[in-house]
Structure 1
Amino acid sequence: MKTSEKFIVLHPSIHKPSGGGGGSAVPPSHRTWILVFMLFFTVTFAFTLITTREAARTSAGATTTTRSVLPRPIFDALVHYASTNTTSFSGRMSSAELKYIAAVLRRCAEPCNLLVFGITHETLLWNSLNHDGRTVFIDESSYLVSKLEEKQPGIEAYDVQFTTKVSELYDLIEHYKEQMKNECRPVQNLLFSDCKLAINDLPNHIYDVAWDVILIDGPRGYFPAAPGRMAAIFTAGVLARSKRGGATHTHVFVHEIYREVEKLCSDEFLCRENLLETKDFLGHFVVGKMDANSFEFCPNSDSSSSPKSN
């Protein structure tokens, strides 16, 4: 039975040019389609490449934007609630002291490098206020450090075994004066220091950080056998003068500045001419970098300038 359907079969020979001679030539219509296809492919490839690069730039920009300071309303709220829950007999910082340090942290370059001696009631506040910066805590108690890391895994903290005692204050100052041009000089790598006041057993990378702010609120210093803050103040003075990179000055805060150890060591290693202001029991020093060949912590120790006190 025959069907009425017809099939048209195109034989390759019908596409040959009528002029004969060399059957491999491509007719003009096919060359046009090939050119259109190649142009389409080229445009598509270029568009994809440009789009990918723009997406990468946008992504990089977004990453940079996320590294920002804590939003001001949240920053202010944290300071407000922390400062309204202080008491004069709790050993905590006063409202004025908290607000003063917070104001300096707010002005700090981004990201801010903050080193804190002492795990205290304000520890979580400092870590939060320095949002997106680097905050490191140093404490004498391995127990407190481990508990802090257990409850707050994102916090960086280390314990130090202090070998000093408050009762040894004047012996340590005498040792420093004998070694001020050698082991106890103001510009040095503390990792290799044999000065009795140097803290040299922290992780190596801590000494490479250009610290913007150093807060000394530990270790304990209220009885003769306590380690005292002599080593912390000395170490802060050396870190500020020896730092590489970052700002040329370091803000150093000493809490309970009017106690004998804190006052004497601050005068020796942070210098009265660097004392910007006092707020209640808090001293605020601004210590600049020094030349590697410097051998005096306080070249202008005879300065009669008096700090502004509030």
Structure 2
Amino acid sequence: MRAKSQYPLGLKLILIGFFLLFLVFFILKSSSHQNLSSVLSAKTTTTTCPPLPLSTQACDKIPPSLSQALVHYATSNITPQQTFKEISVTLRVLEKKSPCNFLVFGLGHDSLMWTSLNHGGRTVFLEEDKSWIQQIMLKLPKLEAYHVVYDTNRTQADELLKVGMEEDCRVVGDPRFSKCALALKGFPSEIYDVEWDLIMVDAPTGYFDGAPGRMSAIYTAGLMSRNREGGETDVFVHDVDRVVEDKFSKTFLCEGYLSEQEGRIRHFTIPSHRTRLGRPFCP
């Protein structure tokens, strides 16, 4: 989430082109909607009105979040960790579901991009490093981010994997009231009260032994997905080339729910378990 390497020129051009395509899509969509409204209006009235003077005609504007994102990435020499192909996995889902509720574990240089791609929806970031939140929010104050604390250590991964096999960890419910040691209970209450359409696990830090690791984040993302009232949740886990992310995503998000993998990102589609009693934890 926090990579600080230089943009290759080709990648920067791809990202700029990516956002310009999104802009063109947004404008065309808005224009077609206006044209359809005009046709319908014309069929329901018997009065022909002269066209408005050019100076009074309404025009489509770029959403402020998209304008900010275009300028930010066009002038930045910092690249997000995910590759273009990896980002495209989530983009395809956002194109179908946005505006929606999107929860992201981790705050980074790609956060403005996710917020912009979910224009009109709610995108929330959970971050372990309070000073990092302050640093990012100085540049991007309109992002919605919360500081959270993890009490695990990556060296506990094998032990926690065994804990996750216990019956208490197979019970679907609100993570706040779960008896499973893997369930995260210390988030702001509103995080648990929202039904998230997309969840991305790209944090907490998990690349060295002293780090919290993503064991609980992956398990909790799966539990929240199963506990929704209805429908399904798209869950993405980044860095699945690492042992913890690989094992815990397959075990608690379930290989049977795996929809796609591209590079280091996996996409799982998890249905509600509350609408079908007796559904097994994994299919």
Tell me which residue corresponds to 2:260: 277
Deviation at residue 95 of structure 1 after TM alignment: 1.1
C-alpha separation in 2, matches of 1:261 and 1:186:
22
Q: Which structure is larger by alpha-carbon Rg, 1 or 2?
A: 1
Deviation at residue 244 of structure 1 after TM alignment: 2.2
C-alpha separation in 1, matches of 2:77 and 2:136:
21
Q: Matched residue of 1:135: which SS?
A: strand
Tell me which residue corresponds to 2:137: 149
Pairs aligned (count) = 217
Aligned identity (percent) is 42
Matched, 1:165 2:153: yes
Deviation at residue 193 of structure 1 after TM alignment: 2.6
Flag structure 1 segments of 5+ consecutive residues without an equivalent.
1-69, 301-310
C-alpha separation in 1, matches of 2:95 and 2:78:
21
Deviation at residue 112 of structure 1 after TM alignment: 0.5
1:116 corresponds, among 93, 96, 104, to 104
Q: Return the letter of the residue paired with 1:297.
A: F
Flag structure 2 segments of 5+ consecutive residues without an equivalent.
1-61
Tell me which residue corresponds to 1:99: 88
Deviation at residue 149 of structure 1 after TM alignment: 3.4
Q: Cα deviations across residues 171-221 of structure 1 (Å, max 9, x unaligned)? A: 11112222x3x2x23411112234221111111111111111101111111
Mean Cα deviation higher: 189-198 or 199-208: 189-198
Q: Return the letter of the residue paired with 2:86.
A: E
- Flag the 1:96–1:186 CA change in 2: closer, same or farther, 3 A: farther
TM-score by length of 1: 0.63
Matched, 1:297 2:281: yes
Matched, 1:174 2:162: yes
Q: Is the 8 A contact 2:273 2:279 kept in 1?
A: no
Deviation at residue 295 of structure 1 after TM alignment: 8.0
Q: Cα deviations across residues 148-191 of structure 1 (Å, max 9, x unaligned)? A: 3343332211121111111111111112222x3x2x23411112
Q: Return the letter of the residue paired with 1:95.
A: F
Q: Cα deviations across residues 6-62 of structure 1 (Å, max 9, x unaligned)? A: xxxxxxxxxxxxxxxxxxxxxxxxxxxxxxxxxxxxxxxxxxxxxxxxxxxxxxxxx
Q: Return the letter of the residue paired with 1:94.
A: T
Deviation at residue 294 of structure 1 after TM alignment: 4.8
C-alpha separation in 2, matches of 1:157 and 1:280:
27
Q: Return the letter of the residue paired with 1:202.
A: F
Cα RMSD after superposing both structures: 2.7
- Flag the 1:186–1:282 CA change in 2: closer, same or farther, 3 A: farther
C-alpha separation in 1, matches of 2:247 and 2:179:
21
- Flag the 1:102–1:186 CA change in 2: closer, same or farther, 3 A: farther
- Flag the 1:274–1:244 CA change in 2: closer, same or farther, 3 A: same
Q: Matched residue of 2:170: which SS?
A: coil
Q: Return the letter of the residue paired with 1:149.
A: M
1:236 corresponds, among 221, 224, 243, to 221
2:126 corresponds, among 130, 135, 138, to 138
Q: Is the 8 A contact 1:187 1:294 kept in 2?
A: no
Q: Matched residue of 1:221: which SS?
A: coil
Matched, 1:187 2:172: yes
2:181 corresponds, among 196, 209, 212, to 196
Q: Is the 8 A contact 1:249 1:286 kept in 2?
A: yes
C-alpha separation in 1, matches of 2:85 and 2:115:
19
Q: Cα deviations across residues 225-284 of structure 1 (Å, max 9, x unaligned)? A: 111111110010001000125xx1111111111211011111111110111111111101
Q: Return the letter of the residue paired with 2:200.
A: L
Deviation at residue 104 of structure 1 after TM alignment: 1.4
Q: Matched residue of 1:177: which SS?
A: coil
